[in-house]
Structure 1
Amino acid sequence: MGGKTEGESEVVSRRNEKGSYVFLWLPLGKQTSVTPLSPSSVRKPPAPATFAPLLALHLPALFLWGLNARQLAALLVHQLQNHAKYLFAVSHFVSPCPIANRQLLVRPLDEWVATRNSQSVQSLPLSALKGAVIGIDASHYIHQHLVNQSTREALLGALGGFPFALRTNIEKELQAFKSLGVGLVFVFNGLDFGRKDQRSNSTTPASPRSFEQAWDLYDQQQADQVVDAFSNAGMVYFFPPGSPSISPISPVSGTSFVPAIPFWIGQSPTSLESPAFSIFPTGPEAADQPQTSGTPPPETLYRFLQRILLQNGIPFMVAPYSAAAQLAYLGRGTNPVVDAIYGPSELFLFDVEKLVIRIETDPAQFTWLTKQTLQEELGRLSNEQFVEFLLLLGSPFLRSCPLFETPGFPGKTPNVRDALPMYNSAGRNALTLCAQYEEDRRMQEFQYTDLYKRAYMNVKHHVYMDVDGRVALMEPETASSDMHEIIGQRLPEELYFYLSKGILGPDIPNFLTSGEVRISLPLGAEDTEVYRQLVGDTLTPIRIQSISLLTNSLHRFYQVKEITVRPWFDENSDRKTNLKSIPSVKETIQGWKVKNESLPESIQKLQAPRGTLKFAVQSLNDPDFVATSSAKQENPVLSSQDEILSNVLWRFLQLRGYVDAKHNLTVWGKALSHALADVTPSDNLEEAIFIAIEMLRFDLLNTQNWFSSVSGGPMRGSDEDKTFNMLVSRVACIGKLQHKNIGYSGPLSRQLLCYRSLISEVRSALRNLVEVVLASLLLSGEADRDRNDWSELGLKLPFIDDNDCGLGIAVRTYLDDLPLQANPTSPEARAEVKSKGKEWFQHSESFTGNLDLAFKLWDSVYKGTQHAGKEIKDAKLWDDANKWLSERR
């Protein structure tokens, strides 16, 4: 077995009664009946001497190609040392974008500690950590920025997209750490673990209701209450005052006022600090807070944060599954990778002795908890009892015990004061407690005893990646033979490597291992027929194509899986696709292996930067290049970064139907080419234009009045004015408002927020596909894998930035005010309305500049429609709208 010893973990397979292989997590030496997969069908990648990452398309390389553990470790450590920023091997295990839907729950332990003024809490100046490295739970860090009073942007949930001030706040903090000589390493959550219905409490109805109430106040022009209502909508109770939080270097105010169309009313400057506004409630009422936040899930901001970290030289990695488990591993041993850990209280589940719960940079200090003191204050709980009790209180691994909840308030967060006596009465044994109440209806409803057992095993034997890049179980010598049922089906080592590096996010692997595409309605989005159609049906072919492409490089077990789409409105859906019935996706795009030196001179002179969408599309206008672009059998592997990115985008364009099998532009490809022709990199519109063309193809960029039941549509002028205004503002909604680094202040539109949710879903599906194209190219050995720019490759792929609806609102507001003028199309009328922009959008970088950007986006999209031939169903509508707009811009 290549020198393996008992206790180490390997991938094995067991043929079930139907003849399919099942991947298992098993400790060696315990199961004698399992057999490693045969390597005979695996194409051998480049020689190990030139290939630093883990060499495993199906199994760890030491089983496939004769490398022993020491040789494999030496290769990987050598690569990491070449570009390590700090003196630890994991420093550049960087960056995927997990979008696992883990809710940040109420932490009863955190609330208990804060309200007791516990002696377990200690503080020191941040300078005491000079020369040390802090491991940071990325989700926890992001969440603190989203909910902290000094950094929270109150109207983010009503606008969508990314917070305007978040980047500035984060970079100030990173600079503060750097000036203090404190090193950082961020760890992100990875793949989903366990079944989705086992991990946490479900969303309470209070969250959508609170958003509805906020919009009602806005429609009623109750501006003095609107900001508080949106800021608190769906707010999660996370930490009370004085307990774990992270503060920016200098507070950045949120929203200064919210105009209620058609009135423009200011917000009270003290509203964010008034008793009515309480992000961190204390006392018994704290437990009644809903368990989802009105802010975006931290996972949606992973790529955003990773890009900032990369640009600032901060190392980060993505855990195979839980970031908490990975951080616990990094802090262990005689030579730990990190000296301190900052994160949520579930880190104590993994035997972390000390946990940083608060970091402030002004004043520069940090606060931490010790597990030992907590155990003493909880009645001298043993280590085992402490873990049991924390699990019962609730975490991402397990919903809180129903016995701890108040029957009249389902979903109410338990508190330690009430839960501890019940646990003590059961002899301080979780299974005894479950057995005593096994007839309880609530316990039976959730099958809680089984959930607890699974969660306990999930924590005890969770998966981590070691400093040599190997993925293994904790305490493998006592692990059961069915850990794949508890954690999830194991993937090849090389795929975990790409996940950790940011080449591939977790969405598609999650769909593949679970066999399900579960779709939930995001908080704040409207449950409309068009939204259901988009996420439940229209985007399914792209998802299936992405899944199938990934499986083309994996074991046959995955290639014959059945995938079921389960949207929130149809949990018993029969939307099933058997991957076995889908022809190889990889074979259709393998013709793209274009080396830089083979590019004709005409292509090399293109103005568009290589590795961009515009370059990929514009290059295919050259018939000489198209004729020679198909790969030859002897083509060498791709090596440079722009070489790889260009080939990824050509393959992506072919999969999306912009390029045919002979590498010629299709009708839609020509439309896209014309649409991109006049934009420059400084415009930053390439991705918006691409998404707009996709929206056209999906018949989503039109004037259908899908959201008439909510407010925020055009109100003034003739029916024609309103129709054209709707179309132009929807195009603008695909762009991004240019705004100062401060919370949004301006009018809102629920209709455009609904439309933004459609755009966001399309963007997310495209991002997943282009990631899989890159991963597939690497898995197939078509690119040089002895490299050190993994994170850059992943973060240079398009479709990271989520859009807000601010630019659409700016255009809608401008066009909606023109009919109030005596002559709406006169230069004087246009100038007068534009002059009001500073009042409407106080923190916009330039109102006229935003309009110019939106109209340039319109021009590009309109140009594309003119060259789409019969593919455009509403050509006359676009022509008429363009003529109408030309008189008003």
Structure 2
Amino acid sequence: MANAFREWAKAESLESVGPLEQFRDTRIAIDAEDYLNALLTTTLTREPLLPALGGLPFALQKHVDEDLAGFRDAGITPVFVFNGLEVASKDRAMIGREAKKAAATLSEAWSIYDQGRGDDAVVAFGKACSYRTYHIVRWLQCHLHKAHVTIQSAPYTAAAQIVYMEREDYVDAVAGSASCLVFGADKVITNFDFVNKRVAWVESKQCLGKLLMSREPFADLMLLSGCTSILPPLAELESQHEAGVARVHAARSLLRRFNDDGHTVCLQQPNDADYLAAFRKARYVIKHCPIMTGAGRVEPREAEKVPNDVHEFIGQRLPEEVYFYLARGVAGPRVLNCRTRMQVYETPPLDGGASQAYKEVVQEKLRPLRAQALALFTRLLHRYYQKTDVELVCWFSESDKRPLGVPDMAESVAATDTWHVPETALANSTGIDVTEAPLFYAIQFLSNEDAARHTKSERAEGSAGTLVQPRELLANVTWRFLHDRGYINPDHSLSGWGKALKASLDRARSYDYLTSASAHEAEEAIFMAFELLRLDVLNTKNMFPTPPFSGPPLRGTETDKANTLLISRIASLGLFRHETIGYTGPLSRHLLAYHQLTAAVRSGLRDLLEMHACHLLLSGAVARDVPAAQLTDLGVGLPFVREPDLGLALVVKSYLDELSNDAARRSDITKWFNHAVDVQEDLSKAWKLWAAVNAGIQAADSSIVSNETRKMFKNADSWLQKKRESGHAATNGTA
């Protein structure tokens, strides 16, 4: 919604523009998520089909790198500040309201696409480009850190943090949205134009003069119009906006009718008590949002005036140490939010979430994973948290609140505390760098029984932490995670699942799929396949019926369709190479539904990894003098940073569909993917991924993988080889 403020300020001639040179040799704090949302929604940089593909926008890294180069050339030092925990004004009712609106928008976009109205569908998809982008925020954090740019996460709202940083002279200026003005900034930079070497900003006094308002009514205006990050727009204003009326103008007219008092406006809204409560909380958030001081303490703004019930509008407090790890990027705020709210709230996926399969995964199959992540974090917190459970609530059945059983999992959490392996013990002959392929490294290391025995070393109670080196931290967190997921036995040997995973990883390495350049992609894709198999969702079942899930495999016999579906599902775990431009090509709601199912599993695995990292630090196993940058290295180095898009699955599905068509009627699919880097090479990669996963499944013991499943994969593999041979016999690989 930040763009609504920028559009209004520009239309009202409130933006000042000056030379970029005036900011040379300055430090500027940037609201990172406002910056990202601008890239996702601004006409010149947005990719409208992002919600139909998942993953990252194809040109995102290019745009970010160009901006970083612009900062360097201008002599500006950017400091990107990310949002931390969500304040209580963004409660389940408000999150649910935004999520359901986005899901309805996307369902309508798919309906338009299925009618063959491609251009209209692109416009419709573009309305939801900033929905479910948590994984993109995580990628941006990691990319900026690797580019040696200063990053941190605020304890709560980034805008409040960067305004504090400017007031205390840690930075010279702030860049963001109306949220910065609401939190007290005198001016906020709204745009950097590195091409023309210009910069635009908006001043608070100009806004107040234009509106004939003081600061408090202006804050109400920004809250009601949805121009801040702490409250969505009032429903009445949203409906007017859809009719073509700018939100800020509509909010201003509404406020005039009630003496510029936003609270009175909310009182007059029929049947919207949720919004009234959220607005009241948001008002207090503006006054007292906690920030992290230069000394590392987390304190509310105007601390001397803060009321006793601060938790009602901010949320439950966490230990100072946790906020420090959040600030340094060891963990994101997702699990922390669930813990302080006492609730996991599942929102609709990009495909709309109408499938029973997705609902079963998030409501039932992922419950133990979510509970384990929360139990790891909870174990070392205050007794209040240890004794208080967390509820699971899903958008499709909000009255059905299910306890996760977090307090009952303390014993299972303790089982992973046997990993305190020092760097001196990490040397081995595998030839794998733990920072390049932590999952492969961890599995390969333990395949040596002698090396595995020497990894079991519990830390003496009360002894000081000794782990300090980045490789030590990453290796121990990864082993704890794999132990937790059942790939490692209590004696630190590989379990049946661990041996099957090793067989897959070895095959990928022998096929030159798991190389230095592709290590993260390959090991994560293979690991994800095993996790999906264990959840009984990696199969040929038609989990997403048509309608509404259009775009399943269409050609050939039922066997052809089933095998195409299975192999395409494996391909959805890999990366698609696309030019740095928005996607044009075929879409599939059917494959997107499966992609979103895998995305839910991936996010749960990433959460568990982050909580193992936090647990390692909170338990005292790590030396207290670890440099802050090394903690960020740990968060960046953990697996599952990047979520794949749907591109590779679409290529594979299209290719196999055509091979199941009559030879005389086959099309060259390379013409369907106009901006793909190399369709043939991506297909080759997909076959290597398939072969690696199949090798592990065939090698698995029958006690963990049924003969029926092995046969399903073996038959699909034989089918694929025959199809590929028929493809090679054609004039080219696809026609």
TM-score in terms of structure 1 length: 0.75
Q: What is aligned with 1:816?
A: 657
Q: What is aligned with 2:165?
A: 330
Q: What is aligned with 2:678?
A: 846
Do the aligned residues in 2 keep the contact of 1:153 with 1:231 (CA within 8 Å)? no
Do the aligned residues in 2 keep the contact of 1:520 with 1:568 (CA within 8 Å)? yes
1:778–1:413 CA distance, 2 compared to 1 (3 A):
farther
- Please tell me the residue identity of whatever aligns with 2:122: F
Do the aligned residues in 2 keep the contact of 1:620 with 1:664 (CA within 8 Å)? yes
Task: Tell me how far apart the structure 2 counterparts of residues 818 and 297 of structure 1 sit (CA, whole Å).
Answer: 35
Task: Tell me how far apart the structure 2 counterparts of residues 513 and 210 of structure 1 sit (CA, whole Å).
Answer: 30
Q: What is aligned with 2:503?
A: 674
1:843–1:664 CA distance, 2 compared to 1 (3 A):
same
Structure 1 residue 886 corresponds to structure 2 residue 718: no
Q: What is aligned with 2:444?
A: 618
1:557–1:793 CA distance, 2 compared to 1 (3 A):
same
Structure 1 residue 211 corresponds to structure 2 residue 40: no
1:367–1:604 CA distance, 2 compared to 1 (3 A):
same
Secondary structure of 1:590's match? helix
Q: CA deviation at 1:739?
A: 2.0
Q: What is aligned with 1:344?
A: 177
Task: Tell me how far apart the structure 2 counterparts of residues 688 and 204 of structure 1 sit (CA, whole Å).
Answer: 28
**Aligned match of 2:476 in 618, 623, 647?**
647
Unaligned runs of 5+ in 2: 725-735
**Aligned match of 1:114 in 2, 7, 10?**
10
Do the aligned residues in 1 keep the contact of 2:284 with 2:313 (CA within 8 Å)? yes
Do the aligned residues in 2 keep the contact of 1:331 with 1:338 (CA within 8 Å)? yes
Map 1:738-887 onto structure 2 (within 5 A). Answer: 738-788=577-627, 789-822=630-663, 836-870=668-702, 871-873=704-706, 874-887=709-722
Q: CA deviation at 1:209?
A: 4.7
1:823–1:413 CA distance, 2 compared to 1 (3 A):
closer
- Please tell me the residue identity of whatever aligns with 1:795: V
- Please tell me the residue identity of whatever aligns with 1:113: A
Do the aligned residues in 1 keep the contact of 2:577 with 2:678 (CA within 8 Å)? yes
Q: CA deviation at 1:171?
A: 0.3
Do the aligned residues in 2 keep the contact of 1:714 with 1:726 (CA within 8 Å)? yes
Q: What is aligned with 1:160?
A: 54
1:405–1:149 CA distance, 2 compared to 1 (3 A):
closer
- Please tell me the residue identity of whatever aligns with 2:211: L
Q: What is aligned with 1:69?
A: none
Task: Tell me how far apart the structure 1 counterparts of residues 388 and 140 of structure 2 sit (CA, whole Å).
Answer: 34
Do the aligned residues in 1 keep the contact of 2:100 with 2:348 (CA within 8 Å)? no
1:608–1:146 CA distance, 2 compared to 1 (3 A):
same
Q: CA deviation at 1:604?
A: 0.8
Do the aligned residues in 2 keep the contact of 1:692 with 1:861 (CA within 8 Å)? yes
Structure 1 residue 627 corresponds to structure 2 residue 523: no
Do the aligned residues in 1 keep the contact of 2:9 with 2:202 (CA within 8 Å)? no
**Aligned match of 2:156 in 302, 305, 321?**
321
Do the aligned residues in 1 keep the contact of 2:524 with 2:640 (CA within 8 Å)? yes
Q: How many residues align?
A: 702
Q: What is aligned with 1:700?
A: 537
1:688–1:417 CA distance, 2 compared to 1 (3 A):
closer
Query: Which has the higher mean CA deviation after the structures are superposed, 757-766 or 395-404?
Result: 395-404
Q: CA deviation at 1:864?
A: 0.9
- Please tell me the residue identity of whatever aligns with 1:614: F
Map 1:352-751 onto structure 2 (within 5 A). Answer: 352-379=185-212, 381-394=213-226, 395-401=228-234, 415-420=247-252, 422-424=254-256, 426-431=258-263, 433=264, 438=267, 440=268, 442-443=269-270, 445-446=272-273, 449-599=276-426, 604-611=428-435, 612-633=438-459, 637-678=466-507, 679=509, 680-681=514-515, 682-684=517-519, 685-709=522-546, 710-751=549-590
Task: Tell me how far apart the structure 2 counterparts of residues 169 and 637 of structure 1 sit (CA, whole Å).
Answer: 41
Q: What is aligned with 1:9?
A: none
Do the aligned residues in 1 keep the contact of 2:186 with 2:204 (CA within 8 Å)? yes
Q: What is aligned with 2:731?
A: none
1:217–1:343 CA distance, 2 compared to 1 (3 A):
same
Task: Tell me how far apart the structure 1 counterparts of residues 530 and 233 of structure 2 sit (CA, whole Å).
Answer: 46
TM-score in terms of structure 2 length: 0.90
- Please tell me the residue identity of whatever aligns with 1:339: D
Do the aligned residues in 2 keep the contact of 1:530 with 1:706 (CA within 8 Å)? yes
Query: Which has the higher mean CA deviation after the structures are superposed, 536-545 or 381-390?
Result: 381-390
- Please tell me the residue identity of whatever aligns with 2:713: W
Q: CA deviation at 1:213?
A: 4.3
1:105–1:412 CA distance, 2 compared to 1 (3 A):
farther
Secondary structure of 1:572's match? strand
Q: CA deviation at 1:645?
A: 0.9
Task: Tell me how far apart the structure 1 counterparts of residues 419 and 96 of structure 2 sit (CA, whole Å).
Answer: 46
Task: Tell me how far apart the structure 2 counterparts of residues 405 and 656 of structure 1 sit (CA, whole Å).
Answer: 44
Map 1:15-164 onto structure 2 (within 5 A). Answer: 104=1, 107=4, 109-116=5-12, 118=13, 120-164=14-58
Do the aligned residues in 2 keep the contact of 1:715 with 1:816 (CA within 8 Å)? yes
Task: Tell me how far apart the structure 2 counterparts of residues 413 and 857 of structure 1 sit (CA, whole Å).
Answer: 51
Task: Tell me how far apart the structure 1 counterparts of residues 560 and 452 of structure 2 sit (CA, whole Å).
Answer: 44
Secondary structure of 1:547's match? helix
Q: CA deviation at 1:306?
A: 1.5
Task: Tell me how far apart the structure 2 counterparts of residues 526 and 551 of structure 1 sit (CA, whole Å).
Answer: 30
Structure 1 residue 202 corresponds to structure 2 residue 120: no
Q: What is aligned with 2:728?
A: none
Do the aligned residues in 2 keep the contact of 1:155 with 1:227 (CA within 8 Å)? no
- Please tell me the residue identity of whatever aligns with 1:815: L
- Please tell me the residue identity of whatever aligns with 2:279: Y
Do the aligned residues in 2 keep the contact of 1:405 with 1:413 (CA within 8 Å)? no
Instruction: Compare CA radii of gyration and give the structure with the larger one.
Output: 1
Cα deviations across residues 164-208 of structure 1 (Å, max 9, x unaligned)?
A: 111011101110110111111111111111051465792387644
Q: CA deviation at 1:210?
A: 4.4
Q: CA deviation at 1:464?
A: 0.4
1:199–1:323 CA distance, 2 compared to 1 (3 A):
farther
1:719–1:693 CA distance, 2 compared to 1 (3 A):
same
Unaligned runs of 5+ in 1: 1-103, 236-292, 825-831
Task: Tell me how far apart the structure 1 counterparts of residues 230 and 136 of structure 2 sit (CA, whole Å).
Answer: 22
Do the aligned residues in 1 keep the contact of 2:487 with 2:498 (CA within 8 Å)? yes
Task: Tell me how far apart the structure 1 counterparts of residues 132 and 557 of structure 2 sit (CA, whole Å).
Answer: 40
Task: Tell me how far apart the structure 1 counterparts of residues 360 and 238 of structure 2 sit (CA, whole Å).
Answer: 37
Task: Tell me how far apart the structure 2 counterparts of residues 589 and 204 of structure 1 sit (CA, whole Å).
Answer: 36
Do the aligned residues in 1 keep the contact of 2:96 with 2:395 (CA within 8 Å)? no
Map 1:241-252 onto structure 2 (within 5 A). Answer: none
Q: CA deviation at 1:416?
A: 4.2
Task: Tell me how far apart the structure 2 counterparts of residues 140 and 423 of structure 1 sit (CA, whole Å).
Answer: 26
Task: Tell me how far apart the structure 2 counterparts of residues 581 and 810 of structure 1 sit (CA, whole Å).
Answer: 45
Identity of aligned residues (%): 34
1:510–1:703 CA distance, 2 compared to 1 (3 A):
same
Cα deviations across residues 333-384 of structure 1 (Å, max 9, x unaligned)?
A: 4xx12222111112211111011122211112111111111111112x2233
1:227–1:797 CA distance, 2 compared to 1 (3 A):
farther
Do the aligned residues in 2 keep the contact of 1:201 with 1:400 (CA within 8 Å)? no
Task: Tell me how far apart the structure 2 counterparts of residues 402 and 884 of structure 1 sit (CA, whole Å).
Answer: 54
Q: CA deviation at 1:150?
A: 2.0
- Please tell me the residue identity of whatever aligns with 1:856: K
Q: CA deviation at 1:857?
A: 0.5
